[in-house]
Amino acid sequence: MSSSSEIDVLVSEVGPRDGLQSVDRIMPTTAKNAWIAALAASGLREIEVGSFVSPKRLPQMADAAQVVAHALTLDGLNVLALVPNLRGAEAAIGAGTHALTMPVSASRLHSMANIGKTPEEAIEEVARVCAYRDTIEGRRVSVEVGLSTAFGCTMEGPVSEDWVLEMAVRCAEAGADTVGLSDTTGYANPEQVKRMFTRLHAELGTKSGGAHLHNTRGQGLANVVAALEAGVTVFDSSQGGLGGCPYAPGASGNIVTEDLVYMLESMGLRTGVDIERLMKARPLILKGLPGEALYGSVPDAGLQKGFTYATAGVPA
């Protein structure tokens, strides 16, 4: 583990939100809190702990405010929550959440099917949330947009890259602090990832956000390598690839945090995460969701003989 508090790449753990909402069963609040505490103790700097949505739609997330309250007690942790709209943003900010993430879909069909809004209407919601956020006194709540289906859509097929970039610009203009790209469907390939993030950086500069990549077709970490080449320094991932992938029974949906951290550290990029402590957090998922399928190769194979963590000054 890095001895300094500095990191080269931010691994943003999304398991407690993205992972858990993909599982039908509900993880008890105490189990969530224990898991999140163990994740933070491994050195993860940022965790997306829940989603402020209708409990009728996603009962798995009904305890979001309680989970946020607990996460706020964890030292040095940036506490993120997903909000689909102003109502969710009000609740999340009321609960003390440090930063909000809002999904906006580049695919028109996916946007309508998922949230019943056009992409343009979703961007208007981002503007409303940012305007509300600007009224909060005493602290700055960051609003991060993740552009879903940015690399293709299961309903539409290919999505215009120009359109994705245009949406990114509009979201930034609407007030988002950062706009990242999400491979919601596992369609992305490394060439496309490198090209799209290069364009995103050219358009948005410091407002260009992180990469949310899936492993549906086994391309997750290959796409991370490509994104690193394009200068991306923030990656979403999920411990144990929790939630799996409905389209590929043996594959994780989200890229697996354990395998991601291992790769980054092996490459000389400091994450601040202790992989052995991270692996000790895995069983806590099963305490809350007995028998749930977990993914990842490093947890099975273990660290290699002579493995060393990245240190400052190693060429990336």
Tell me if 218 contacts a copy of itself by CB under 8 A: yes
Q: How far is the CB of 88 from a copy of itself (least distance, A)?
A: 30
- Min dist CB 73 to a copy of itself, Å, is 33
Among residues 137 and 300, whose Cβ is nearest to a copy of itself? 300
Residues that bind a copy of itself (rule: CB under 8 A) add up to a total of 49
Quick note: the x/- pattern for a copy of itself over 132-171, rule CB under 8 A, is --------------------xxxxxxx-------------
- Distance of alpha carbon 242 from alpha carbon 36, whole angstroms: 14
Q: Which is nearer to a copy of itself, 64 or 106 (CB)?
A: 106
Q: Is 66 in the site for a copy of itself (CB under 8 A)?
A: no
Q: How far is the CB of 314 from a copy of itself (least distance, A)?
A: 9
Binding to a copy of itself by CB under 8 A, coded x per residue (else -) over 282-311, reads: -------------xxxx-xxx-xxx-----
By CB under 8 A, residue 112 contacts a copy of itself: no
Measured from the CB atom, the residue of 142 and 233 that comes closer to a copy of itself is 233
Q: Which residues within the stretch 237-276 sit at the binding site for a copy of itself (CB under 8 A)?
A: 245, 247-251, 256, 259, 262-263, 266-268
Alpha carbons 250 and 295: distance in angstroms, whole number: 8
130 tagged catalytic: no
**Would you give the end-to-end CA distance of the chain in angstroms?**
16
Among 190, 203, 277, 292, which residue interacts with a copy of itself (rule: CB under 8 A)?
Answer: 190
Residues pairing with 142 in the sheet: 99
Looking at the Cβ atoms of 74 and 248, the one nearer to a copy of itself is 248
* Shortest distance, position 82 Cβ to a copy of itself, whole Å: 25
**DSSP labels for the chain?**
--SSS--SSEEEE-IIIIIHHTSSS---HHHHHHHHHHHHHTT--EEEEEE-S-TTT-GGGTTHHHHHHHHTTSTT-EEEEE-SSHHHHHHHHHTT-SEEEEEEESSHHHHHHHHSS-HHHHHHHHHHHHHHHHT--SSPPEEEEEEETTT-BTTTBS--HHHHHHHHHHHHHTT-SEEEEE-TTS---HHHHHHHHHHHHHHHGGGEEEEE-B-TTS-HHHHHHHHHHTT--EEEEBGGGTT--TT-TTS-SBPBHHHHHHHHHHTT------HHHHHHHHHHHHHHSTT-----SHHHH-PPTT-----TTS--
Pick 84 or 272: Cβ nearer a copy of itself: 272
Task: Give 209 or 296: the residue with its C-beta nearer to a copy of itself.
Answer: 296
**CB 186 → a copy of itself: shortest distance, Å?**
7
Alpha carbons 16 and 61: distance in angstroms, whole number: 9
Residues lying near a copy of itself in the complex (CB under 8 A): 152-158, 185-187, 189-192, 215-219, 221-222, 224-226, 229, 245, 247-251, 256, 259, 262-263, 266-268, 295-298, 300-302, 304-306, 316
